Amino acid sequence: MRVRFAPSPTGQLHVGGARAALYNWLTARKEGGTFVLRIEDTDRERSTPENVEQILDALRWLDLDYDEGPISQVARSDRHEELLQRLLADGKAYRTTATAEDVKAYKEQHGADRGFRGQAEAEGAVRLRVPDDGETVVHDLIRGDTTFRHTHLDDPVIARSDGTALYNFAVAADDMDAQITHVIRGEDHLSNTPKQLLVYEALGAQPPVFAHLPLLHGPDGKKLSKRHGSASVQELRDAGYLPEAVVNYLALLGWGDEDDETIIPRDELVRRFSIERVSRNPARFDEQKLRWMNGRYLRELSTDELTRRLEEFTGRTGLRPAVEISREKVQTLAEFWPLAGFLFDGPTDDPAAREKWLDEDGLGALAEAREAIAQTDPFDAEQLETALRNVVQRRHAKPRDVYQPVRVAIAGTPVSPGIFESLTVLGRDESLRRIDAALTK
C-alpha cells in the first residue's frame, strides 16, 4: 500500500488539510504502508520555498512523519513532457487553440449538458480526448460509486501551449509513476476525479483507490475561512493547543466508530481508524470542543513535561513551581501566562479589581491578613490556610472577603491560582512587599 498526501502549498496548512494529512497518515500506518508526501506545484508561483517549509513545519508539529518525499512535480517536467508526447502520438490527446469562449460557444450550440469536443490543430494547448459514449465511474472508499457520463465532460486541458503540464494530468502521471495505491483528499477533487481516471486510462495505467473527505465548514456553516478563528495549524499552535489534542480532535472531526470513546491516543487511533467509516457530511470546526479536549490532554501531562512545553511556549524559564499550582486551571498553553505571570512579573494592573476588593473593608481585612501571613511559620500552604482562616473567623467575614483582597494585592487580578499556593510560591518577603504596596496605595 502506498498512500500519498499532496497539499497545495499556497500558504499555511489549514485544518482541513491537516485532517487530510492525518487520515492519509493513519491509513498508511494502520496497514504498514508507505506514506508519500508530494508537493502540488505545477504552478511554481505558488510553491515558494517558504510555503513548502510552512507545510513541512505543520506536519512536523503534528508528528506526521512521511516515508518518501517531499517530491516536487516541477522536478518531473521532463517526464510529463515525455508522457504528453506519447498521448499525442497515440491520438489520445490533441492540440487545440480553442479558448474558454470557444467552449462556451460550443455548448450554446450543442446544449449546455454536452461536453466540449475539439479538432486537432498543429498548435495550442493539449486536451485529452474524452470518448463520446460511455461513462467513468469513480469508486470511492467513503462515498461508494459515482457515475459521470462522458457526454457531460469537456475534453480537459492537460497541458498549456508552452507544454507545461496542468494539475489533472500531472497528479495522475505522478501517482502512476509512484505506484500510488490510495488517494485520500478533499471532496473538492471529486468532480475532477473522472478526468484523472481518463488520464490513467489513456496512459494505460491502473488507477488508485480514491477516498474523498467532506470539506470543513466554519462556525456559521459556510466555507471555512481564516475569518473564523483558528484556521491553520500554525494558528492552533500559537493559540496554545497541544499537537496530540489537535490530532485527536481532527481524527474525530468527521469520523467515529461504534465505540463512544472521545479521548483516543494516537496509537489507539492508528489501530481503530478506518477510512471507510469517515462521515460523508461536511463538518464544522468547533474550537470549544478542541479547548475541552486540549484541557484533558494538558492535565494528563506530567508537571515536568508541561513545564517544558510552557517554557518553550512562553520563552521563560523557572516556571515549574507556577506550573504546579496552575495546571488544573488552564485549557491551553496560552492561558498559563495571563493566570500565573504575576508570580514572576509582579501584580497585574487591574483598576476594577482594586476598586472592588481593596475598599475600606478590603484594606482592613488585608491589614489583618498581612499580620497573619507575617507570623506564619513554616511558610507553607497548610499553615497559611490555618492562619488566614483564623482571620476570617475573627472578622466574622465570608472567606472571600479576606482572600480576594489578598489575591488582588499579590496578583493584581481577581483570578489566580490558589491563594495559599500562590503565597507559598512568592515567599514571605515578596508576599509582604506586595501587600504593603497595596496597603499604602
Q: 33 or 389: whose CB is closer to RNA?
A: 389
Among 286, 312, 359, 380, binds RNA (CB under 7 A): 286
Q: Which is nearer to RNA, 260 or 317 (CB)?
A: 260
In the complex, the smallest distance separating the C-beta of residue 380 from RNA, rounded to whole angstroms, is 13
Nearer to RNA, 223 or 394 (CB): 223
Position among 62, 362, 403, 410 found at the interface with RNA (CB under 7 A): 403
CB count in 10 Å sphere of residue 43: 15
Query: Which of 171, 231, 181 shows the shortest CA–CA distance to 211?
Result: 181
Would you count residue 147 as binding RNA (CB under 7 A)?
yes
Q: Taking CB under 7 A as the criterion, which residues in 380-399 touch RNA?
A: 385, 399
Kindly state the cell numbers that stand for 143.
462515498
Nearest residue to 27 via CA among 183, 146, 178:
183
Q: Is 382 helix (H, G, I), strand (E, B) or coil?
A: helix
- Residue closer to RNA (CB basis): 222 or 271: 222
Binding segment (CB under 7 A) for RNA, from list 24-32, 51-59, 240-248, 407-415 = 407-415
Minimum CB separation of residue 30 from RNA in Å reads 17
CB of 288 to RNA, least distance (A): 4
Q: How many residues does the chain have?
A: 441
Quick one: which segment of 75-83, 165-173, 314-322, 340-348 binds RNA (CB under 7 A)?
A: 165-173
Q: How far is the CB of 259 from RNA (least distance, A)?
A: 8
Of 45 and 440, the one with the shorter C-beta distance to RNA is: 45
Binding of residue 342 to RNA (CB under 7 A):
no
Annotation marks residue 226 as catalytic: yes
Contacting range for RNA; rule: CB under 7 A; set: 61-69, 255-263, 361-369, 426-434: 255-263
Taking CB under 7 A as the criterion, which residues in 198-237 touch RNA?
Answer: 214-215, 217, 221-223
State whether residue 126 is helix, strand or coil.
Answer: strand
Read off the C-alpha cell for 218.
466554519
In the region spanning residues 68 to 127, those forming contacts with RNA, defined by CB under 7 A, are: 97, 99-100, 103, 107, 112-113, 124-125
Q: Which three cell numbers stand for residue 231?
A: 484556521
- For RNA, the closer of residues 28 and 410 by Cβ is 410
Q: Which ranges constitute the DSSP H helices of 90-124?
A: 100-110
List, in order, residues 6 or more apart from 65 with CB less than 8 Å away.
25, 35, 59
Interaction between residue 274 and RNA (CB under 7 A): no
Q: Which residues on adjacent β-strands are paired with residue 27?
A: none
The C-alpha cell 484523472 sits at 196
**φ and ψ at residue 44, rounded to 5 degrees:** -70, -15
Residue number with CB closer to RNA (85 or 279) = 279
Of the residues 67, 105, 134, 161, which one makes contact with RNA according to CB under 7 A: 161
Position among 167, 297, 336, 342 found at the interface with RNA (CB under 7 A): 167
E strands, 247-402, are 283-284
- Maximum separation of any 2 CA atoms in the chain, in Å: 101
How many amino acids of this chain bind RNA (CB under 7 A)? Answer: 85
One of 109, 119, 288, 440 touching RNA (CB under 7 A): 288
Identified binder of RNA from the candidate list 77, 146, 234, 348, rule CB under 7 A: 146
Return all residues near 275 (Cβ < 8 A) that are at least 6 apart: 23, 26, 27, 141, 142, 184, 211
Determine, following the binding rule CB under 7 A, whether residue 157 of this chain makes contact with RNA.
yes
Minimum CB separation from RNA for residue 439, in Å?
19
Choose, from 226, 289, 398, 441, the residue flagged as catalytic: 226
Instruction: Report the run of H or E that residue 392 belongs to, with start and end.
Output: helix 381-395
Name beta bridge partners: 135.
149
| Closest to RNA by CB, 85 or 99 | 99
- Residue 112 buriedness (CB in 10 A; 0-12 / 13-18 / 19+): exposed
Indicate which single residue of 63, 338, 400, 427 sits in contact with RNA (rule: CB under 7 A).
400
Whose cell is 483570578? That residue is 415
Residue 137 pairs with which residues in a beta bridge?
Answer: 147
* Contacting residue, 5, 13, 16, 41, with RNA by CB under 7 A: 41
Q: What sign does the dihedral 111-115-121-123 (CA atoms) show? A: positive
End-to-end CA distance of the chain: 71
Residues marked as catalytic: 226
